[in-house]
Amino acid sequence: MHYRRGFTIVELLIVIVVIAILAAISIVAYNGIQTRASNTAIINSVSQTIKVINAYIAQEGMYPAFNTYACVTTASSCVEPGGTNHGANSTFDANIIKIANPPRSIPNNGTAGIGIVYHHSDSRQFNGQSKPGLLMYFLNGQSQNCGASNVMSAWGTPGQEASTSTTGYSGNNTSTNKTLCFVSV
């Protein structure tokens, strides 16, 4: 009598477990790559926006808008983690277009903590100097490096001078799992 030799249930389970482990590792690695790619795209857009704003300041001798908010990335919206939605600002848009078009879209992850927001406040102090302009943006994940110079430790409200961040980011928002970046312009 000749028996066919097949796989035992234990052997099949071992193969299934090994495949499941490899799949889990691949998914985690893929998500990490996606997060890094998204954050790199956001940082590149911020860098371009800073260059356009600085060129405007150099040419016109002033900021593109005063004591206001402006959503730079109007094509992809600007929403703070708390839900505050910042829309387009016609003064900012009309002035900045004199120099160049800033990036109007960046990758979004979620419905809050998205976009690049320009803010101007006459009373803002940064490292002991009057620095009224800032950009606010959000990176995916906690404690991510903002990837820009002049990252502020805080918003720099009246009576609260901001200084250079020692961590490379301004804060974390645990509800959205995002890093908050304030960059002085």
In the predicted model, is pLDDT for residue 97 greater than 80?
yes
Does some domain include residue 141?
yes
Q: How far apart are CA 97 and CA 90, in angstroms?
A: 11
Q: How far apart are CA 131 and CA 50, in angstroms?
A: 14
List, for residues 120-144, the tens digit of each pLDDT value: 999 899 999 999 999 999 999 999 9
In the predicted model, is pLDDT for residue 1 greater than 80?
no
Does some domain include residue 137?
yes
List, for residues 108-119, the tens digit of each pLDDT value: 888 899 999 999
Does some domain include residue 24?
no
Residue 32 has what pLDDT?
80
In the predicted model, is pLDDT for residue 150 greater than 90?
yes
- Please tell me the least confidently modeled range out of 26-40, 124-138, 169-183: 26-40
Q: How far apart are CA 119 and CA 156, in angstroms?
A: 11
Residue 108 has what pLDDT?
86
**Amino acid identity of 161?**
E
Does some domain include residue 25?
no
Number of domains composing the chain: 1
Does some domain include residue 15?
no
Residue length of the chain: 185
Q: Work out the mean pLDDT of the chain and round it to a whole number.
A: 91
Q: How far apart are CA 55 and CA 16, in angstroms?
A: 59
Does some domain include residue 31?
no
